[in-house]
Amino acid sequence: MLPAFFLLAVACSACYALDNGVALTPPMGWSTWNTLACDYDEGDLREIADIMVKTGLTKLGYVYFNIDDCWEDGRDANGRLRYNATQFPSGMHGWGQHLHSLGMKFGIYTSSGQYTCSGFEGSWGHEFEDAQTFADWEVDFMKLDCCNTSVEMKNVSYPKWSKALNATGRPIVYSCDTDELIGIFPWTNEERPWDWAPPVCNMWRTWKDIKPYWWSWTMNLAFNIETWDLLDLSTIAKPGAFNDPDMLEVGVGEMTYEESKSHFSLWAMMAAPLILGNDLRHMTTETLDIITNAEVIAIDQDPLGRQGRRVLQGIDSDIYAKPLVGGAIAVALWNKVDYPVDITLNWSDLGFAPAKTMALRDLWAHRDLGPHTQSYTAKAVAPTGVVVLKLSPVPGQPPLHHLLLST
Protein backbone atom coordinates (compact mmCIF):
# COMPACT_ATOMS: atom_id res chain seq x y z
CA MET A 1 0.00 0.00 0.00
CA LEU A 2 1.28 3.48 -0.87
CA PRO A 3 1.62 6.05 1.93
CA ALA A 4 -1.38 8.37 2.16
CA PHE A 5 0.86 11.45 1.96
CA PHE A 6 2.01 10.55 -1.54
CA LEU A 7 -1.32 9.28 -2.75
CA LEU A 8 -2.86 12.64 -1.86
CA ALA A 9 0.09 14.49 -3.34
CA VAL A 10 -0.74 13.13 -6.78
CA ALA A 11 -4.51 12.87 -6.40
CA CYS A 12 -5.03 16.39 -7.71
CA SER A 13 -3.68 15.34 -11.11
CA ALA A 14 -7.33 14.62 -11.84
CA CYS A 15 -8.40 18.15 -10.79
CA TYR A 16 -9.35 20.77 -13.33
CA ALA A 17 -7.56 24.12 -13.55
CA LEU A 18 -8.17 27.35 -15.43
CA ASP A 19 -6.37 26.98 -18.75
CA ASN A 20 -5.05 30.52 -19.31
CA GLY A 21 -1.33 29.74 -19.18
CA VAL A 22 -0.50 31.90 -16.14
CA ALA A 23 0.22 31.31 -12.43
CA LEU A 24 1.84 27.94 -13.03
CA THR A 25 3.56 28.65 -9.72
CA PRO A 26 1.95 30.72 -6.95
CA PRO A 27 2.01 34.46 -7.78
CA MET A 28 4.45 36.61 -5.78
CA GLY A 29 4.30 40.36 -5.30
CA TRP A 30 3.05 43.21 -3.15
CA SER A 31 -0.38 44.73 -2.47
CA THR A 32 -1.52 48.11 -1.19
CA TRP A 33 -4.24 46.85 1.12
CA ASN A 34 -2.69 45.52 4.34
CA THR A 35 -0.70 48.66 5.13
CA LEU A 36 -2.08 51.52 3.02
CA ALA A 37 -5.75 50.57 2.54
CA CYS A 38 -7.15 53.69 0.76
CA ASP A 39 -4.37 56.07 1.80
CA TYR A 40 -2.05 56.04 -1.23
CA ASP A 41 -1.28 57.75 -4.47
CA GLU A 42 1.02 57.18 -7.41
CA GLY A 43 3.92 58.86 -5.63
CA ASP A 44 3.72 56.40 -2.73
CA LEU A 45 3.55 53.48 -5.11
CA ARG A 46 6.52 54.62 -7.17
CA GLU A 47 8.61 54.75 -3.99
CA ILE A 48 7.61 51.23 -3.04
CA ALA A 49 8.14 49.84 -6.55
CA ASP A 50 11.63 51.33 -6.61
CA ILE A 51 12.41 49.67 -3.26
CA MET A 52 11.25 46.32 -4.60
CA VAL A 53 13.81 46.63 -7.36
CA LYS A 54 16.64 48.00 -5.19
CA THR A 55 16.27 45.33 -2.49
CA GLY A 56 16.27 42.51 -5.04
CA LEU A 57 12.68 41.48 -4.32
CA THR A 58 11.76 41.48 -8.00
CA LYS A 59 14.71 39.21 -8.84
CA LEU A 60 13.42 36.75 -6.22
CA GLY A 61 10.02 36.63 -7.97
CA TYR A 62 7.99 39.38 -6.29
CA VAL A 63 6.86 40.87 -9.58
CA TYR A 64 3.12 41.51 -9.21
CA PHE A 65 2.45 45.04 -7.93
CA ASN A 66 -1.22 44.99 -6.98
CA ILE A 67 -3.41 48.03 -6.45
CA ASP A 68 -6.32 47.02 -4.22
CA ASP A 69 -9.49 49.05 -3.60
CA CYS A 70 -9.94 52.86 -3.71
CA TRP A 71 -8.52 53.79 -7.13
CA GLU A 72 -11.93 54.01 -8.87
CA ASP A 73 -13.79 57.19 -9.87
CA GLY A 74 -17.12 56.08 -11.33
CA ARG A 75 -17.74 55.59 -15.06
CA ASP A 76 -17.51 57.85 -18.08
CA ALA A 77 -20.31 58.63 -20.52
CA ASN A 78 -19.57 55.39 -22.38
CA GLY A 79 -19.81 53.27 -19.24
CA ARG A 80 -16.08 52.63 -18.94
CA LEU A 81 -14.43 52.57 -15.52
CA ARG A 82 -12.57 55.73 -14.60
CA TYR A 83 -9.54 55.97 -12.33
CA ASN A 84 -8.93 58.83 -9.90
CA ALA A 85 -6.80 61.17 -12.01
CA THR A 86 -5.56 63.11 -8.99
CA GLN A 87 -4.41 59.87 -7.39
CA PHE A 88 -2.85 58.60 -10.63
CA PRO A 89 -1.64 61.55 -12.69
CA SER A 90 0.14 59.23 -15.15
CA GLY A 91 -3.09 57.37 -15.80
CA MET A 92 -3.56 53.67 -15.32
CA HIS A 93 -2.01 52.76 -18.63
CA GLY A 94 0.95 55.01 -17.85
CA TRP A 95 1.30 53.46 -14.39
CA GLY A 96 1.26 49.98 -15.89
CA GLN A 97 3.92 50.95 -18.41
CA HIS A 98 6.10 52.24 -15.58
CA LEU A 99 5.80 48.94 -13.74
CA HIS A 100 6.62 47.02 -16.90
CA SER A 101 9.71 49.18 -17.42
CA LEU A 102 10.89 48.00 -13.98
CA GLY A 103 10.36 44.36 -14.93
CA MET A 104 7.20 44.12 -12.84
CA LYS A 105 3.59 43.23 -13.54
CA PHE A 106 0.48 45.35 -12.99
CA GLY A 107 -2.25 44.10 -10.66
CA ILE A 108 -5.63 45.71 -10.09
CA TYR A 109 -8.82 45.19 -8.06
CA THR A 110 -12.54 45.34 -8.60
CA SER A 111 -15.65 43.93 -6.97
CA SER A 112 -18.30 41.65 -8.40
CA GLY A 113 -21.07 43.78 -6.86
CA GLN A 114 -22.33 47.22 -7.80
CA TYR A 115 -19.93 48.73 -5.26
CA THR A 116 -16.54 47.73 -3.92
CA CYS A 117 -15.85 47.01 -0.25
CA SER A 118 -14.88 50.66 0.26
CA GLY A 119 -17.94 51.97 -1.56
CA PHE A 120 -16.44 52.76 -4.96
CA GLU A 121 -17.70 51.72 -8.39
CA GLY A 122 -18.00 47.95 -8.79
CA SER A 123 -18.28 45.80 -11.90
CA TRP A 124 -21.68 44.12 -11.66
CA GLY A 125 -23.16 44.04 -15.17
CA HIS A 126 -19.96 45.43 -16.74
CA GLU A 127 -17.74 42.36 -16.67
CA PHE A 128 -16.78 42.24 -20.34
CA GLU A 129 -16.38 46.04 -20.61
CA ASP A 130 -14.17 46.21 -17.52
CA ALA A 131 -12.09 43.21 -18.55
CA GLN A 132 -11.33 44.95 -21.84
CA THR A 133 -10.52 48.19 -20.00
CA PHE A 134 -8.03 46.32 -17.83
CA ALA A 135 -6.50 44.68 -20.88
CA ASP A 136 -6.20 48.08 -22.57
CA TRP A 137 -4.36 49.30 -19.45
CA GLU A 138 -2.04 46.26 -19.80
CA VAL A 139 -3.09 44.73 -16.50
CA ASP A 140 -1.48 41.37 -15.64
CA PHE A 141 -3.36 40.39 -12.45
CA MET A 142 -6.93 41.03 -11.36
CA LYS A 143 -8.44 40.45 -7.92
CA LEU A 144 -12.22 40.15 -7.87
CA ASP A 145 -13.83 40.82 -4.48
CA CYS A 146 -17.41 40.02 -3.48
CA CYS A 147 -18.63 42.90 -1.31
CA ASN A 148 -22.22 44.05 -1.85
CA THR A 149 -23.19 40.80 -3.48
CA SER A 150 -24.69 37.39 -2.68
CA VAL A 151 -23.95 33.74 -3.33
CA GLU A 152 -26.45 33.82 -6.19
CA MET A 153 -24.80 36.88 -7.75
CA LYS A 154 -21.38 35.29 -7.24
CA ASN A 155 -22.51 32.22 -9.14
CA VAL A 156 -23.10 34.47 -12.15
CA SER A 157 -20.29 37.00 -11.93
CA TYR A 158 -17.19 34.92 -11.17
CA PRO A 159 -17.51 32.50 -14.12
CA LYS A 160 -18.53 35.45 -16.31
CA TRP A 161 -15.36 37.32 -15.35
CA SER A 162 -13.28 34.26 -16.20
CA LYS A 163 -14.73 34.23 -19.71
CA ALA A 164 -14.38 38.00 -20.01
CA LEU A 165 -10.69 38.01 -19.10
CA ASN A 166 -9.93 35.17 -21.49
CA ALA A 167 -11.86 36.95 -24.24
CA THR A 168 -9.44 39.90 -24.10
CA GLY A 169 -6.62 37.69 -25.35
CA ARG A 170 -4.31 39.11 -22.67
CA PRO A 171 -2.88 36.67 -20.08
CA ILE A 172 -4.22 37.96 -16.74
CA VAL A 173 -3.96 36.13 -13.42
CA TYR A 174 -7.48 35.82 -12.02
CA SER A 175 -7.64 36.01 -8.21
CA CYS A 176 -11.05 35.16 -6.76
CA ASP A 177 -11.93 36.49 -3.31
CA THR A 178 -15.29 35.42 -1.89
CA ASP A 179 -14.31 35.54 1.78
CA GLU A 180 -17.26 37.79 2.71
CA LEU A 181 -19.57 34.94 1.70
CA ILE A 182 -17.74 32.17 3.59
CA GLY A 183 -19.64 31.37 6.80
CA ILE A 184 -17.73 31.30 10.08
CA PHE A 185 -19.76 28.28 11.23
CA PRO A 186 -20.36 25.02 9.33
CA TRP A 187 -24.12 25.55 9.25
CA THR A 188 -23.75 29.03 7.71
CA ASN A 189 -21.16 28.10 5.11
CA GLU A 190 -22.93 28.30 1.76
CA GLU A 191 -19.79 29.43 -0.05
CA ARG A 192 -17.23 26.74 -0.94
CA PRO A 193 -14.80 28.21 -3.51
CA TRP A 194 -12.69 25.04 -3.61
CA ASP A 195 -15.70 23.29 -5.17
CA TRP A 196 -16.21 25.67 -8.12
CA ALA A 197 -13.09 27.85 -8.45
CA PRO A 198 -10.35 25.55 -9.90
CA PRO A 199 -11.62 25.64 -13.51
CA VAL A 200 -12.60 29.32 -13.17
CA CYS A 201 -9.84 31.09 -11.20
CA ASN A 202 -6.06 30.90 -10.80
CA MET A 203 -6.30 31.37 -7.03
CA TRP A 204 -9.15 31.59 -4.53
CA ARG A 205 -9.45 32.65 -0.93
CA THR A 206 -10.10 29.89 1.61
CA TRP A 207 -10.95 32.00 4.69
CA LYS A 208 -11.58 35.50 6.02
CA ASP A 209 -9.33 38.56 5.72
CA ILE A 210 -6.02 38.07 7.49
CA LYS A 211 -4.84 40.36 10.31
CA PRO A 212 -1.28 40.91 11.65
CA TYR A 213 -1.78 38.67 14.67
CA TRP A 214 -0.81 35.09 15.53
CA TRP A 215 -4.43 34.05 16.10
CA SER A 216 -5.47 35.40 12.69
CA TRP A 217 -2.85 33.92 10.40
CA THR A 218 -2.96 30.55 12.18
CA MET A 219 -6.74 30.49 11.66
CA ASN A 220 -6.26 31.22 7.96
CA LEU A 221 -3.66 28.46 7.84
CA ALA A 222 -6.05 25.98 9.46
CA PHE A 223 -8.76 26.64 6.89
CA ASN A 224 -6.26 26.39 4.06
CA ILE A 225 -5.39 22.88 5.25
CA GLU A 226 -8.89 21.48 5.51
CA THR A 227 -12.49 22.69 5.42
CA TRP A 228 -15.17 22.46 8.09
CA ASP A 229 -16.20 19.09 6.66
CA LEU A 230 -12.57 17.87 6.68
CA LEU A 231 -11.88 18.09 2.95
CA ASP A 232 -8.10 18.04 2.47
CA LEU A 233 -7.45 21.13 0.33
CA SER A 234 -4.01 19.90 -0.74
CA THR A 235 -5.88 17.61 -3.15
CA ILE A 236 -7.25 20.67 -4.98
CA ALA A 237 -4.16 22.79 -5.62
CA LYS A 238 -2.06 22.35 -8.75
CA PRO A 239 -0.16 24.54 -11.27
CA GLY A 240 -2.47 27.33 -12.40
CA ALA A 241 -4.91 26.78 -9.52
CA PHE A 242 -3.93 27.54 -5.92
CA ASN A 243 -5.62 27.84 -2.55
CA ASP A 244 -5.08 31.34 -1.15
CA PRO A 245 -4.95 31.81 2.65
CA ASP A 246 -4.63 35.59 2.00
CA MET A 247 -1.76 38.06 1.85
CA LEU A 248 1.32 37.92 4.05
CA GLU A 249 1.46 39.93 7.27
CA VAL A 250 5.25 39.69 7.69
CA GLY A 251 6.47 43.15 8.72
CA VAL A 252 2.97 44.36 9.56
CA GLY A 253 1.92 44.90 13.16
CA GLU A 254 3.87 43.52 16.11
CA MET A 255 4.43 39.84 15.38
CA THR A 256 7.78 38.55 16.62
CA TYR A 257 10.58 37.44 14.32
CA GLU A 258 9.86 33.76 15.05
CA GLU A 259 6.11 34.18 14.48
CA SER A 260 6.77 35.97 11.19
CA LYS A 261 9.28 33.34 10.09
CA SER A 262 6.74 30.59 10.81
CA HIS A 263 4.02 32.51 8.96
CA PHE A 264 6.22 32.88 5.87
CA SER A 265 7.46 29.28 6.00
CA LEU A 266 4.00 27.76 6.31
CA TRP A 267 2.65 29.87 3.44
CA ALA A 268 5.51 28.44 1.37
CA MET A 269 4.60 24.91 2.47
CA MET A 270 1.01 25.60 1.39
CA ALA A 271 2.14 26.61 -2.13
CA ALA A 272 0.28 29.83 -1.32
CA PRO A 273 0.61 33.06 -3.28
CA LEU A 274 3.29 35.18 -1.56
CA ILE A 275 1.80 38.67 -1.69
CA LEU A 276 3.58 41.07 0.65
CA GLY A 277 1.55 43.70 2.48
CA ASN A 278 4.10 45.57 4.57
CA ASP A 279 5.25 49.15 3.99
CA LEU A 280 8.60 48.50 2.35
CA ARG A 281 9.68 52.08 3.04
CA HIS A 282 9.86 51.28 6.77
CA MET A 283 11.10 47.69 6.69
CA THR A 284 13.39 46.17 9.33
CA THR A 285 16.39 44.04 8.46
CA GLU A 286 14.63 41.09 10.16
CA THR A 287 11.62 41.46 7.85
CA LEU A 288 13.87 41.70 4.79
CA ASP A 289 15.75 38.61 6.00
CA ILE A 290 12.53 36.61 6.13
CA ILE A 291 10.97 37.63 2.83
CA THR A 292 14.24 37.21 0.89
CA ASN A 293 15.04 33.66 1.97
CA ALA A 294 15.55 32.22 -1.50
CA GLU A 295 15.60 28.61 -0.27
CA VAL A 296 12.19 28.88 1.37
CA ILE A 297 10.81 30.81 -1.60
CA ALA A 298 11.96 27.92 -3.81
CA ILE A 299 9.74 25.57 -1.78
CA ASP A 300 6.72 27.77 -2.52
CA GLN A 301 7.69 28.18 -6.18
CA ASP A 302 8.48 24.52 -6.82
CA PRO A 303 7.30 23.66 -10.37
CA LEU A 304 5.47 20.55 -9.15
CA GLY A 305 2.89 22.97 -7.74
CA ARG A 306 1.77 20.69 -4.92
CA GLN A 307 0.43 22.01 -1.65
CA GLY A 308 1.97 20.56 1.48
CA ARG A 309 0.02 18.52 4.03
CA ARG A 310 0.06 18.28 7.77
CA VAL A 311 1.41 14.78 8.37
CA LEU A 312 1.57 14.96 12.17
CA GLN A 313 -0.48 17.10 14.55
CA GLY A 314 0.54 17.41 18.18
CA ILE A 315 -0.36 19.47 21.21
CA ASP A 316 2.72 21.67 21.00
CA SER A 317 3.96 21.09 17.44
CA ASP A 318 2.92 20.10 13.93
CA ILE A 319 4.87 18.61 11.01
CA TYR A 320 4.11 19.49 7.38
CA ALA A 321 5.49 17.82 4.25
CA LYS A 322 5.46 18.96 0.62
CA PRO A 323 6.64 16.92 -2.39
CA LEU A 324 9.05 18.72 -4.70
CA VAL A 325 10.11 18.28 -8.29
CA GLY A 326 12.95 15.81 -8.77
CA GLY A 327 11.89 13.62 -5.87
CA ALA A 328 12.84 15.75 -2.86
CA ILE A 329 10.54 16.63 0.03
CA ALA A 330 10.21 19.83 2.07
CA VAL A 331 9.35 19.40 5.75
CA ALA A 332 8.38 22.09 8.26
CA LEU A 333 8.69 21.39 11.98
CA TRP A 334 6.48 24.03 13.65
CA ASN A 335 6.47 24.91 17.34
CA LYS A 336 2.98 26.19 18.17
CA VAL A 337 3.64 27.15 21.79
CA ASP A 338 5.50 29.89 23.66
CA TYR A 339 8.32 27.74 25.00
CA PRO A 340 11.09 25.76 23.24
CA VAL A 341 10.31 22.19 22.21
CA ASP A 342 12.17 19.32 20.57
CA ILE A 343 10.40 18.17 17.40
CA THR A 344 11.14 14.74 15.95
CA LEU A 345 10.43 13.74 12.37
CA ASN A 346 10.25 9.97 12.02
CA TRP A 347 10.64 8.53 8.55
CA SER A 348 7.39 6.65 9.18
CA ASP A 349 5.58 10.04 9.28
CA LEU A 350 6.37 10.25 5.56
CA GLY A 351 5.76 6.58 4.82
CA PHE A 352 9.45 5.61 4.55
CA ALA A 353 11.16 2.59 6.06
CA PRO A 354 13.44 3.53 9.01
CA ALA A 355 16.51 2.26 7.15
CA LYS A 356 16.01 4.75 4.33
CA THR A 357 18.92 7.21 4.06
CA MET A 358 18.13 10.83 3.24
CA ALA A 359 20.28 13.94 2.92
CA LEU A 360 18.95 16.85 4.98
CA ARG A 361 19.41 20.60 4.61
CA ASP A 362 18.19 23.30 7.02
CA LEU A 363 16.72 26.10 4.88
CA TRP A 364 16.82 28.80 7.57
CA ALA A 365 20.30 27.97 8.85
CA HIS A 366 21.41 27.52 5.19
CA ARG A 367 23.51 24.48 6.00
CA ASP A 368 23.63 20.81 5.13
CA LEU A 369 22.91 18.41 8.00
CA GLY A 370 24.33 15.34 6.28
CA PRO A 371 22.73 11.93 5.67
CA HIS A 372 20.23 10.59 8.21
CA THR A 373 18.32 7.38 8.70
CA GLN A 374 15.20 6.61 10.71
CA SER A 375 14.51 10.09 12.15
CA TYR A 376 15.68 13.64 12.75
CA THR A 377 15.14 15.73 15.88
CA ALA A 378 15.24 19.52 15.83
CA LYS A 379 16.37 20.48 19.32
CA ALA A 380 14.79 23.35 21.27
CA VAL A 381 12.86 24.87 18.38
CA ALA A 382 12.27 28.50 19.37
CA PRO A 383 8.88 29.49 20.83
CA THR A 384 6.38 29.87 17.95
CA GLY A 385 9.30 29.16 15.62
CA VAL A 386 9.91 26.74 12.76
CA VAL A 387 12.62 24.58 11.22
CA VAL A 388 12.30 23.97 7.49
CA LEU A 389 14.17 21.02 6.00
CA LYS A 390 14.74 19.75 2.50
CA LEU A 391 15.06 15.96 2.30
CA SER A 392 16.78 14.63 -0.80
CA PRO A 393 17.79 11.17 -1.99
CA VAL A 394 21.44 10.39 -1.42
CA PRO A 395 23.56 9.89 -4.58
CA GLY A 396 22.73 6.67 -6.38
CA GLN A 397 19.22 6.37 -4.97
CA PRO A 398 16.00 7.06 -6.89
CA PRO A 399 13.80 10.09 -6.08
CA LEU A 400 12.12 9.75 -2.70
CA HIS A 401 8.46 10.05 -3.58
CA HIS A 402 8.91 8.54 -7.03
CA LEU A 403 10.43 5.46 -5.39
CA LEU A 404 7.36 5.00 -3.23
CA LEU A 405 4.96 5.57 -6.08
CA SER A 406 6.67 2.84 -8.08
CA THR A 407 6.39 0.18 -5.37
pLDDT tens, position by position, 174-192: 999 999 999 888 777 789 9
Contact residues for 65 (Cβ-Cβ < 8 A; gap 6+): 29, 30, 45, 48, 49, 52, 99, 104, 105, 106, 107
Q: How far is CA 269 from CA 69, 106, 317, 382, in A?
A: 29, 26, 15, 19
| pLDDT score at 401 | 63
More confident residue, 211 or 13: 211
Asked which of 9-13, 93-97, 128-132, 168-172 is least confident by mean pLDDT, the reply is 9-13
More confident residue, 57 or 404: 57
In this prediction the pTM is 0.94
Q: With the CA atoms of 240, 244, 246 and 251 taken in that order, what torsion angle do they form, in degrees rounded to the nearest 10?
A: -70
How many angstroms separate the CA atoms of 62 and 265, rounded? 16
Q: Where in the chain is the domain with CATH 3.20.20.70?
A: 28-301
Nearest to 59 by CA among 218, 291, 334, 406: 291
- State mean pLDDT over 321-328: 94
**CATH fold for domain 309-393:** Immunoglobulin-like (2.60.40)
Catalytic residues: 145, 209
| pLDDT score at 14 | 44
Nearest to 64 by CA among 274, 278, 296: 274
Question: Which tens digit of pLDDT belongs to each residue from 21-49?
Answer: 999 999 999 999 999 999 999 999 999 99
Question: Which tens digit of pLDDT belongs to each residue from 282-303?
Answer: 999 999 999 999 999 999 999 9
How many angstroms separate the CA atoms of 393 and 170, rounded? 41
How many angstroms separate the CA atoms of 345 and 347, rounded? 6
Question: Which tens digit of pLDDT belongs to each residue from 52-101?
Answer: 999 999 999 999 999 999 999 999 999 999 999 999 999 999 999 999 99
Domain with residues 28-301, CATH architecture: Alpha-Beta Barrel (3.20)
| pLDDT score at 402 | 47
Q: How big is the CA angle at 31 (ends 30 and 37), to the nearest 5 degrees?
A: 150
Cβ count within 10 A of residue 181:
19
Tell me what percent of the residues of the chain surpass a pLDDT of 70: 94
SS3 for 365? Answer: coil
Q: Where in the chain is the domain with CATH 2.60.40.1180?
A: 309-393
* Cβ atoms 247, 277 nearer than 8 A: yes
How many angstroms separate the CA atoms of 214 and 211, rounded? 8
How many angstroms separate the CA atoms of 225 and 223, rounded? 5
| pLDDT score at 353 | 87
Kindly tell me the sign of the dihedral angle through the C-alpha atoms of 21, 26, 28, 33. positive
| pLDDT above 60 for 407 | no
